[in-house]
């Protein structure tokens, strides 16, 4: 099977190294950047350089955007960039910029009407991760799939909090993480936030509920908000 033709739109600090790694992996890449010199820097690695975004996208199987913000992505896809109109049905846009979720959903819906796939996939890891090909990719949208999310997301929708992985085990693990962090002189705000939420769940009687019952604690913090329509299934 031949490798897909890829267009990378936005070849600056992040997109440039990402495109370089795709070229090193043997993919055919067409590069475009508003500052053309940044795209031209990839030519020695084998990239084709396009004068505008639509030209880069024409004939591509996959378009990767790594642009400054949501309005810029929108302008490139649907405005002056005219990328959406240049793409063939069946192609895919992977937006690796960090944009507003509502805007990403809108982009996905607009592209779907054109027969074009869409994946919202912002990254974490900075320029070092882009250079070393070690970025964490946080994929969302119609192409994202995860067995864990399928199962646990459905449990939340069904409001089935019968224990499979009890909250008390998460409390134990989070305590171990925070204790180790203190020993090392580290501050772990995200771990502390998760620990506080599970401690709140425990304080409301949820120690033996499934860990997905953290949803109940989040709902308590947001009065009037409730996921799903089924009654809660809780351990006796």
Q: What is the pLDDT along the chain (236 residues), one digit of tens a residue?
A: 689 999 999 999 999 999 999 999 999 999 999 999 999 999 999 999 999 999 999 999 999 999 999 999 999 999 999 999 999 999 999 999 988 888 999 999 999 999 999 999 998 888 998 999 998 888 875 555 566 677 888 999 999 999 988 999 999 999 999 999 999 999 999 999 999 999 999 999 999 999 999 999 999 999 999 999 999 999 98
CA distances (Å), origin 195, targets 122, 159, 174, 179, 182: 26, 22, 6, 12, 14
CATH number assigned to the domain with residue range 5-137, chosen from the 4 options 3.40.50.720, 2.60.40.10, 2.10.50.10, 3.40.190.10: 3.40.50.720
Q: What is the pTM of this model?
A: 0.71
Helix/strand/coil (H/E/C) assignment for every residue in 61-86: CEEEECCCCHHHHHHHHHCCCCHHHH
Instruction: Indicate which residue of 172, 175, 192, 225 is catalytic.
Output: 172
Is there a catalytic annotation at residue 113? no
Q: Where are the domains of the chain?
A: 5-137, 147-221
Check residue 144 and give its pLDDT: 54
> Cβ(127)–Cβ(12) under 8 Å?
no
Residue spans of alpha helices (H) in 135-206? 147-158, 167-183, 189-203
CATH architecture of 147-221: Orthogonal Bundle (1.10)
């Amino acid at each position: 099977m031949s490798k897909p033709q890829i267009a990378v739109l936005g070849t600056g600090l992040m997109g440039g190294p990402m495109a370089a790694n795709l070229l090193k992996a043997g993919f055919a890449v067409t590069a475009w950047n508003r500052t053309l010199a940044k795209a031209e820097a990839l030519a020695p690695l084998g990239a084709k350089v396009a004068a505008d975004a639509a030209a880069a996208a024409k004939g591509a199987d996959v378009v990767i955007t790594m642009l400054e913000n949501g309005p810029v992505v929108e302008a490139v896809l649907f405005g002056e960039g005219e990328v959406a109109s240049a793409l063939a049905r069946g192609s895919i846009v992977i937006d690796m910029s960090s944009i507003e979720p509502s805007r990403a959903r809108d982009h996905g819906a607009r592209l779907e009407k054109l027969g074009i796939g869409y994946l919202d996939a912002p990254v974490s890891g900075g320029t070092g991760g882009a250079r070393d090909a070690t970025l964490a990719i946080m994929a969302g949208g119609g192409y994202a799939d995860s067995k864990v999310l399928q199962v646990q997301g459905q449990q939340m929708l069904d409001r089935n909090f019968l224990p499979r992985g009890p909250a008390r085990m998460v409390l134990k693990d989070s305590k171990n993480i925070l204790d180790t962090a203190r020993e090392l002189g580290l501050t772990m705000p995200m771990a502390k936030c998760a620990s506080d939420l599970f401690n709140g769940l425990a304080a409301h009687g949820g120690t033996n509920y499934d860990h997905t019952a953290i949803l109940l604690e989040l709902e308590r913090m947001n009065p009037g908000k409730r996921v799903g329509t089924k009654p809660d299934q809780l351990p006796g």
